[in-house]
């Protein structure tokens, strides 16, 4: 028992220097936190949805999606009972669609295993589909005020600069050190916890907020930073060189041709099958182009298995997904005997039916270039 007490007090004194970071961070957050809709609640479900949406996505993009999601699916039970297509439709345009599928699966699991109540134990939260160590830590600290650490790209940047952490933060030794620092800071914040003051929640959100608004990847606003006097990177002029991230893998260009085939006020569309990227989403028939020698007519024949009676360029859509720079050349295609291609290449759907379906961003953009469709797109329904 004595040995344990000594160890704890030694650990306590080892943490003391870090205390000087905690108080200014807690105070700063009270005065400077942005008023975000999910910060007005302690509802774990609402916080979970916000954390998943915010992965790889900016706050200003997430707000309308989160608002709409919480209106349509306000509870875990509502999400668990929703049709898969309805869940994807609410996520349409946010990208990284496995996030939506995992939310759906996790809600069903919470109904089965936890009686519909969001679990409060870290290990149970971590066991849910689509939830990693960072997200479990964020939910448990923000929704339940537990001393659980968080470490994402923003927090890595703040801690690496504050403590002058050298080495690639994705490599094990540096990463372990940064997790340990994040854990120690939130443990120290826990000493300030009161029923009214959720210091663990506030500390973690302060780290997130500073990373997002002050300690930005380039040109950090150190003059506004509450811990600048203790910041190693600021003192040594290394704000631009920390964290020591590896060079980005150069992006790869990919080109696709997509075909907008219509007839009798219907469009030919297909659904992406299970097990591929963006499975469950709808799109115009398309093929990836590996060489430029074939004519659009030949490519259309390859994609539709029917010789086009006419083909005209419609638009070109460019976008980036992870490390791919994607260009989609869309064509308007006329075919004779359109019903012949219905079974092999997709389904003929009216605009009313199309409105109910989830589309990937590129194909939603193609759809919106067709006269009479643009105003019926996702933007108009928010
Ligand atoms: Fe980041 Fe500058 Fe603050 Fe250091 S002082 S944590 S570099 S914003």
Q: Judge whether 272 and 88 are in contact, CB under 8 Å.
A: no
Q: Per-residue confidence at 10, pLDDT binned at 50, 70, 90?
A: very low
Residues 225, 243: Cα–Cα separation, whole Å: 17
83, 86, 92, 96 alpha-carbon torsion, rounded to 10°: -20
> Would the pLDDT of 310 be above 90?
no
pLDDT digits (tens, 9 = 90+) for 58-67: 999 999 999 9
C-alpha closest to that of 190 among 32, 71, 306, 22? 22
User: How many C-beta neighbours within 10 Å does residue 91 have?
Assistant: 21
Q: Whose CA is nearest to atom 5 of ligand 1?
A: 228
Higher pLDDT, 223 or 194: 223
Q: How far apart are the C-alpha atoms of 242 and 29, rounded to whole Å?
A: 23
Q: For position 337, what pLDDT does the model report?
A: 61
Query: Does the pLDDT of residue 178 top 80, yes or no?
Result: yes
Q: State if residue 158 touches ligand 1 by the CB under 6 angstroms criterion.
A: yes
Distance 240 CA to ligand 1 centre (A): 10
Band (pLDDT 50/70/90 cuts) for residue 101 is: very high
- Give the model's pLDDT for residue 291: 74
Clarify whether 209 is annotated catalytic. Answer: no
Identified catalytic residue from 51, 184, 209, 283: 51
Cβ of 157 below 6 Å from ligand 1: no
Residue 261 pLDDT greater than 50, yes or no: yes
The mean pLDDT value for 231-244 works out to: 96
Among residues of the chain, what percentage have pLDDT more than 90?
Answer: 68
Q: How would you classify the pairing of strands 286-289 and 252-263?
A: antiparallel
Six-digit token pair at 92?
Answer: 């349409």
Cβ-contact 109, 116 below 8 angstroms: no
By residue count, the chain amounts to 382
Tell me the pLDDT band of 125, cut-offs 50, 70 and 90: very high
Residues paired with residue 283 on neighbouring β-strands, in sequence order: 270
What pLDDT, on a 0 to 100 scale, did the predictor assign at position 336? 72
Contact call for residues 207 and 151 (beta carbons, < 8 A): no
Confidence label for 355 from pLDDT (cuts 50, 70 and 90):
confident
What is the tens place of the pLDDT at every residue in 266-283?
Answer: 888 999 988 888 888 999
Ligand 1 centroid–CA 142 distance in Å is: 23
**129 close to 106: Cβ distance less than 8 angstroms:** yes
Which range is least confidently modeled, 1-5, 57-61, 199-203, 219-223? 1-5
Q: How far does the centroid of ligand 1 lie from the alpha carbon of residue 159, in Å?
A: 9
Is the pLDDT assigned to residue 200 strictly greater than 50? yes
pLDDT tens track for 282-295: 999 999 998 767 88
pLDDT at 98: 92
State whether the beta carbon of 62 lies less than 6 angstroms from ligand 1: no
pLDDT at 370: 78
CA distances, 322 to each of 95, 96, 325 (Å): 10, 9, 8
Mean pLDDT to the nearest integer, 167-176: 96
3-state secondary structure labels for all residues of the chain: CHHHHHHHHHHHHHHHHHHHHHHHHHHHHHHHCCCCHHHHCCCHHHHHHHHHHHCCCCHHHHHHHHHHHHHHCCCHHHHHHCCHHHHHHHHCCCCCCHHHHHHHHHHHHHHHHCCCCCCCCHHHHHCCCCCCHHHHHHHHHHHHCCCCCCCCHHHHHHHHHHHCCCCCCCCHHHHHHHHHHHHHHHHHHHCCCCCCCCHHHHHHHHHHHHHHHCCCCCCCCHHHCCCHHHCHHHHHCCCCCCCCCCCCCCCEEEEEEEEEEEECCEEEEEECCCCCCCCCCEECCEEEECCCCCCHHHHHHHHHCCCCCEEEEEEEEEEEECCEEEEEEEEEEECCCHHHHHHHHCEEEEHHHHHCCCECHHHHHHHHCCCCCHHHCHHHHC
């Amino acid at each position: 028992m004595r040995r344990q007490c000594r160890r704890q007090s030694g650990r306590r004194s080892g943490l003391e220097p870090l205390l000087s970071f905690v108080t200014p961070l807690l105070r700063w957050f009270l005065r400077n936190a942005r008023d975000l809709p999910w910060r007005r609640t302690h509802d774990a479900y609402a916080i979970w949805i916000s954390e998943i949406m915010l992965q790889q996505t900016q706050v200003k993009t997430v707000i309308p999606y989160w608002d709409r999601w919480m209106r349509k699916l306000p509870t875990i039970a509502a999400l668990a009972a929703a049709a898969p297509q309805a869940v994807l439709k609410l996520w349409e345009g946010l990208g990284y669609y496995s996030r939506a599928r995992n939310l759906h699966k996790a809600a069903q699991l919470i109904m089965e295993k936890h009686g519909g109540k969001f679990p409060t134990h870290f290990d149970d939260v971590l066991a849910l589909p689509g939830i990693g160590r960072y997200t479990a830590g964020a939910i448990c600290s923000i929704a339940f005020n537990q001393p659980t650490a968080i470490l994402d790209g923003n927090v890595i940047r703040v801690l690496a600069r504050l403590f002058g952490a050298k080495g690639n933060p994705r490599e094990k030794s540096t990463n372990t050190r940064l997790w340990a620092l994040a854990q120690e800071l939130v443990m120290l914040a826990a000493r300030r916890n009161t029923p009214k003051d959720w210091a663990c929640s506030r500390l973690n959100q302060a780290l997130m907020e500073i990373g997002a608004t002050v300690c930005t990847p380039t040109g950090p606003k150190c003059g506004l930073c509450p811990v600048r006097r203790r910041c190693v990177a600021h003192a040594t002029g290394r704000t631009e060189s920390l964290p020591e991230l590896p060079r980005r893998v150069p992006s790869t260009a990919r080109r696709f041709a997509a075909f907008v085939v219509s007839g009798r006020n219907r469009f030919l569309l297909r659904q992406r099958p299970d097990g591929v990227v963006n499975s469950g989403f709808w799109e115009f028939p398309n093929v990836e182009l590996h060489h430029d020698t074939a004519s659009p007519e030949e490519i259309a024949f390859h994609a539709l298995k029917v010789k086009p009676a006419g083909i005209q360029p419609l638009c070109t859509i460019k976008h980036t997904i992870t490390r791919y720079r994607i260009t989609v050349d869309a064509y308007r295609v006329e075919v004779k005997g359109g019903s012949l291609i219905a079974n092999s290449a997709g389904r003929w759907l009216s605009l009313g039916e199309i409105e109910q379906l989830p589309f990937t961003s590129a194909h939603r953009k193609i759809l919106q270039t067709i006269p009479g469709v643009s105003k019926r797109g996702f933007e108009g329904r928010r």
